[in-house]
């Protein structure tokens, strides 16, 4: 309670009528100001007491939630909201009364769909629980903007990919053209084309057609939307399975494996199949960079809301200039590389809302780091465990 009100209450019997009137007037006008501020917010604000009865609603909440009772005050929170899913989320959250709970709901009313985000925050007074504050925001536009940005991003990468394809198919097409011309010329001049030469020309043409086919297949893999299906999983599990899978190949290439997996990492949302593919692409590059043998190090760790996977090799490393190009589709320095390995890595990690970063030193080695966001609910679980200890 405000100190001056406390003081006034203590000496209420000594105050004359005029002073009491002035005090009430001050209080009422302060109240009105607060109400005015709350009502001019576009976000919805709803306050409940310890019995979960609604004690305050601002105008915003009525605009955002048409399914709210017209006079919600004095009703139990979940009984005032005529939407089963929202009501049950609110009921569970206020009953926990321990930490902030958040959830998004999409309302499909008569107009266009709207996405609302709900946050339930416990309110304390003098360190004693006092009820809950429920904040409601309309995040439809934000979600739309994000989707637009993602589309623009994938369109931009499609343009680079298309340019890459155009560049890639030039050579095989040229070579096919030349060999067809050679055959045509021989036929025109009635020159006898011996079987061996004709066979060689045709073989080259077939090889080039296969190369073209490979380019198209890789291109399609790189541009197709991924049919990811995310499951809450442990990164260490995926890494351990992968190690089983690659250990013979490492041995064959005289590559030592050094792993350091942090125990009890929080779970993250993973499509294990795609994530394994991304990790394999990075490992294969690492092995290729250590043609004299070396050490491949795999580390998992948690830091600042992310689970990180570091994959380091002690290979040839890369120059700054090379580093700036490695995620570009078709960039390769290998005779038989497609140059799509890291494009796929980038795409898979983005699909997981994660990031991939690289550090490299020429003749010393390279480290790729994949960082995956820890979902909020896992973070809460962590806090919770921390408190228990």
Ligand X SMILES: Nc1ncnc2c1ncn2[C@@H]1O[C@H](COP(=O)(O)OP(=O)(O)OP(=O)(O)O)[C@@H](O)[C@H]1O
Residue from 299, 323, 324, 320 nearest 310 by CA: 299
Q: CA–CA separation, 232 vs 266, rounded Å?
A: 10
| 341: contact with Mg ion by CB under 5 A | yes
In the complex, least distance from residue 322 CB atom to Mg ion, rounded to whole angstroms: 13
Cα 380–chain centre separation:
18
Q: CA–CA separation, 39 vs 57, rounded Å?
A: 9
| 312: contact with ligand X by CB under 6 A | no
Which one of 61, 222, 326, 372 is in contact with ligand X (CB under 6 A)?
Answer: 326
Stretch that binds ligand X, among 12-20, 202-210, 266-274, 329-337 (CB under 6 A): 329-337
Q: CA–CA separation, 207 vs 173, rounded Å?
A: 11
| 340: contact with ligand X by CB under 6 A | yes
| 333: contact with ligand X by CB under 6 A | yes
In the complex, least distance from residue 158 CB atom to Mg ion, rounded to whole angstroms: 21
Query: Which of positions 109-148 make contact with ligand X (CB under 6 A)?
Result: none
Neighbours of 364 (CB within 10 A): 11
Stretch that binds ligand X, among 63-71, 167-175, 312-320, 376-384 (CB under 6 A): 312-320
The SS3 of residue 347 is: helix
In the complex, least distance from residue 105 CB atom to Mg ion, rounded to whole angstroms: 43
Each as own residue / partner, the long-range contacts of residues 207-216 (CB below 8 Å, 24 or more positions apart, any chain) are: 208/172, 208/173, 208/175, 208/176, 209/172, 209/176, 211/172, 212/169, 212/172, 212/173, 214/338, 215/165, 215/168, 215/169, 215/172, 216/165
| 341: contact with ligand X by CB under 6 A | yes
Return the one option of Mg ion, ligand X, none that residue 265 interacts with (CB less than 5 to 8 A, by type): none
In the bound state with Mg ion, the residue whose beta carbon lies nearer, of 44 and 341, is 341
| 286: contact with Mg ion by CB under 5 A | no
Which one of 137, 313, 346, 354 is in contact with ligand X (CB under 6 A)?
Answer: 313
Task: Report the alpha-carbon angle 322-306-105, nearest 5.
Answer: 115
Q: Where are the alpha helices (DSSP H) in the chain?
A: 3-10, 17-39, 59-64, 77-80, 84-96, 140-188, 195-223, 235-252, 272-288, 320-323, 341-351, 376-388
In the bound state with ligand X, the residue whose beta carbon lies nearer, of 58 and 371, is 371
Which one of 54, 176, 316, 372 is in contact with ligand X (CB under 6 A)?
Answer: 316
| 215: contact with ligand X by CB under 6 A | no
Q: Which two tokens stand for residue 69?
A: 């009772």
| 338: contact with Mg ion by CB under 5 A | no
Burial label, 325 (beta-carbon count in 10 A; 0-12, 13-18, 19+): middle
Neighbours of 354 (CB within 10 A): 22
Task: Provide the mask over 281-300, with x wherever binding to ligand X is found by CB under 6 A and - wherever it is not.
Answer: x---xx--x-----------
The SS3 of residue 248 is: helix
Task: Provide the mask over 233-272, with x wherever binding to ligand X is found by CB under 6 A and - wherever it is not.
Answer: ----------------------------------------
In the bound state with ligand X, the residue whose beta carbon lies nearer, of 161 and 289, is 289
Query: Which of positions 347-366 make contact with ligand X (CB under 6 A)?
Result: 366
> What Å distances lie between residue 160 and 21, 163, 350, 354, CA to CA?
74, 5, 17, 21
Residue nearest to Mg ion (CB): 341
Cα 185–chain centre separation:
58
| 369: contact with ligand X by CB under 6 A | no
| 44: contact with Mg ion by CB under 5 A | no
| 331: contact with ligand X by CB under 6 A | yes
| 94: contact with ligand X by CB under 6 A | no
Name the residues that contact Mg ion, by CB under 5 A.
Answer: 285, 341
Return residues touching ligand X (CB under 6 A). 281, 285-286, 289, 313, 315-318, 322, 326, 331-334, 337-343, 366
């Amino acid at each position: 309670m405000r100190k001056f009100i406390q003081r006034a209450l203590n000496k209420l019997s000594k105050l004359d009528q005029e002073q009491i009137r002035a005090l009430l007037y001050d209080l009422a006008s302060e109240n009105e100001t607060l109400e005015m501020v709350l009502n001019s917010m576009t976000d919805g604000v709803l306050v409940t007491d310890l019995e979960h009865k609604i004690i305050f609603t601002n105008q915003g909440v009525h605009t955002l939630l048409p399914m709210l009772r017209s006079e919600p005050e004095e009703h139990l929170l979940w009984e005032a909201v005529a939407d089963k899913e929202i009501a049950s989320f609110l009921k569970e959250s206020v009953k926990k009364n321990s930490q902030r709970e958040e959830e998004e709901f999409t309302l499909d009313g008569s107009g266009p769909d709207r996405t609302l985000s709900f946050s339930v925050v416990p309110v304390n007074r003098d360190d004693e629980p006092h009820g809950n504050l429920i904040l409601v925001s309309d995040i439809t536009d934000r979600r739309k903007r994000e989707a637009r940005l993602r589309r623009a991003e994938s369109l931009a990468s499609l343009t680079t990919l298309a340019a890459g394809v155009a560049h890639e198919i030039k050579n095989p097409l040229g070579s096919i053209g030349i060999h067809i011309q050679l055959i045509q010329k021989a036929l025109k001049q009635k020159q006898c084309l011996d079987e061996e030469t004709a066979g060689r020309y045709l073989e080259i043409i077939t090889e080039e057609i296969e190369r073209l086919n490979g380019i198209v297949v890789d291109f399609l893999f790189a541009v197709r939307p991924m049919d990811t299906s995310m499951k809450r999983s442990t990164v260490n599990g995926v890494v351990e399975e992968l190690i089983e899978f690659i250990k013979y190949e490492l041995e064959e290439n005289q590559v030592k494996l050094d792993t350091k997996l942090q125990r009890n990492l929080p779970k993250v949302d993973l499509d294990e199949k795609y994530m394994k593919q991304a990790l394999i692409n990075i490992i294969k590059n690492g092995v290729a960079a250590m043609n004299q043998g070396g050490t491949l190090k795999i580390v998992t760790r948690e830091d600042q809301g992310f689970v990180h996977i570091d994959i380091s090799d002690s290979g040839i490393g890369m120059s700054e200039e090379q580093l700036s190009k490695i995620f570009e589709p078709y960039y390769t320095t290998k005779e038989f590389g497609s140059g799509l390995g890291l494009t796929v890595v980038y795409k898979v990690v983005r699909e997981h809302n994660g990031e991939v970063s690289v550090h490299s030193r020429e003749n010393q080695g390279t480290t790729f780091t994949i960082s995956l966001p820890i979902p909020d609910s896992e973070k809460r679980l962590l806090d919770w465990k921390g408190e228990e200890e």
